[in-house]
Amino acid sequence: MIADATVAPGHDGQAVLVVRLRHENGAFDTVTLDADQARALLEECAASSAADLRGQPWRRLLRVLEQPTDRED
């Protein structure tokens, strides 16, 4: 599930959302979302802020990640 989510700067100067996942075995992993993905995740989770994402199931994040994005180097 989603442990927390924080805003960080991306390589291109745009803000990104770093989502930290806690796995069932207790391990943590991070996934970085761009603005469109973050917006989609909020909608997927019916959340209005990053704080509301805590405790949401990881499958909702997976659905967002399956959509195209416009990451830039």
Binding mask 4-23 for other proteins (x = CB under 8 A): --xxxxxxxxxxxxx-----
Measured from the CB atom, the residue of 22 and 71 that comes closer to other proteins is 71
Per rule CB under 8 A, is residue 38 in the interface with other proteins? Answer: yes
Beta pairing class for 28-33 and 15-22: antiparallel
Task: Considering only CA atoms, give the Rg of the chain.
Answer: 12
Per rule CB under 8 A, is residue 72 in the interface with other proteins? Answer: yes
In whole angstroms, what is the distance from residue 69 CA to residue 24 CA? Answer: 28
Per rule CB under 8 A, is residue 50 in the interface with other proteins? Answer: yes
Interface residues toward other proteins, by CB under 8 A: 6-18, 29-32, 35, 38-39, 42, 48-51, 68-73
